[in-house]
Structure 1
């Protein structure tokens, strides 16, 4: 089982750069826990109104069937998700909650319209968990169970407790890649279209490929250097130790559950950059052989970020004064610069910024800007 779990975990991370793998990944997950199907839901804006979508799902479902189901039962799914979210705690752990929360009794649950539709597909019990506690409108994981079986058992939950944090990280890191794949057929061949820096590393940290934004960051900040033997190195010892740990041990990944951004490589010298690493076991774009390398993503948080400020305010219960600072922080302005523009004291802006960071569970401004990007930011350069 340990080997199977490791293989599936590696496949989860392969889906970061190859979004077409997600169906296969969820099929394997479903099989391991004896489920019937699995869906990752996401709310998107369509014509100014929120719409529930299912961009990632196991092979048990077709996209057409899910579209029809959601067109008829979106309001019921929305109600269920609201209940799940109310029972989800604010800490970083991922909680997989049973459908017993959705009705007073099993008989009452069976009478619900969407449950009756699912029962016609041979499904009854469900379990769901929030994969991103920063923006709870994205990456809601749902597992559907065969109508002939009971809810998840202890050993199945134990397996999922190891796997879901990796799933959450892969879903989060895959957002820029998903945007890229919608426009371009090959992800790795179109990396220069991304506004974030991307560097592909071999098993020993050798640079295989890097996009233009990564090269710009390398020249601007001198945070990275390439050794004579072609290895990427982080110039700060603390940052290099973090990178070495992530490259040496798969268990070092997925340690922050539903807030994977906290896993970014930290260093005293990396104030402007948010650096994250994901394993790549196999990639069709890298050839048919096992690659066993890494995908390094580096976000320059001094560059302007445009996001949905209203959703950020709602997500973290920011005051009007705090919300007014969100865009300024996203523009890369320092606290003294913000104070000067707004005619406020630096002490006032410092206090408001500190409050924003506390409410959003961010250690610093770099993490906050990185978090903002999950609220509707585009990761693609203009044509």
Structure 2
């Protein structure tokens, strides 16, 4: 793969007539402005939106961002984006698309700090000639004309990628534009590394550890990279007891079941995106281990100091063979005996279909009971209702 490097003059042994990209006064001024804007983003942890806006305007970029992606499998775990529709990050995290994203796959294979584009200035082709069917469908839908990107850094099993797609109306990225991007590359690497160090490294937060250990219930806090900032003693003891979950060397939560590990990471990453947006919706995951049920309630943290945003995980252990306290459910959630019976199975992590099979009633009836529970208790989402029931009975 040929990579454009920021060379200003040919080597003395090379043919002096070879055309090389160069920067004029306006381009140099714009480059300096981009660098200044990039480093100003380090004044707080709001992310890189000011830089994205300047980059988008200067390079006529359509959409893109800085994405933290695990290596195997290729999954997004955190990031900042621009130009995508509302909810894109959540959808992208919880889909298989990163594993099949040809741009991501291309950029993670580059040497660090070196931009490349799909077309490399070739106006005789379009990016649709290069992409596979699935990526081509996305590119056609948004009118993509080219894509440029680089591998920012590769560390601890995570690749950080910068990418910027461009609308077809502006043609492919030119050699001059790729030269400017390559001049920006080391600055992007520095800014991302400093941002992660300044705002998202909480491993030495002793105050947080002390605070969590004052609580008897099992609690864990994840930082904005999806790593465990702290887990109190009760949480560590519960993980040891269940044997199905553990804290890996990468300081992330893992399961012996790879599918469950992926589900956990996707849910945590989604909550991290929500924390950046100030959305506080709680979601609950269930881990089954024989007759034991472990419920994990994940809540985005939006702290007074924004650099402490992250995710709080509350862990609850249940014995599915013990009869649920239906009377307590009726009292707490203002429901009928039939609705309480359905609520008790929701707490065990059963789906509407599984509940219908267990209760020998129709799925429609189960869903109606759930709607009644939502309406009576003022919840819009089933995930919020389930989280509250788990907390109430845990």
Indicate whether the TM-score tops 0.5: no
What is the TM-score of this pair, normalised by structure 1?
A: 0.40
| Larger RCO, structures 1/2 (Cα 8 Å, 6+ apart) | 1
Compare CA radii of gyration and give the structure with the larger one: 2
What is the TM-score of this pair, normalised by structure 2?
A: 0.39
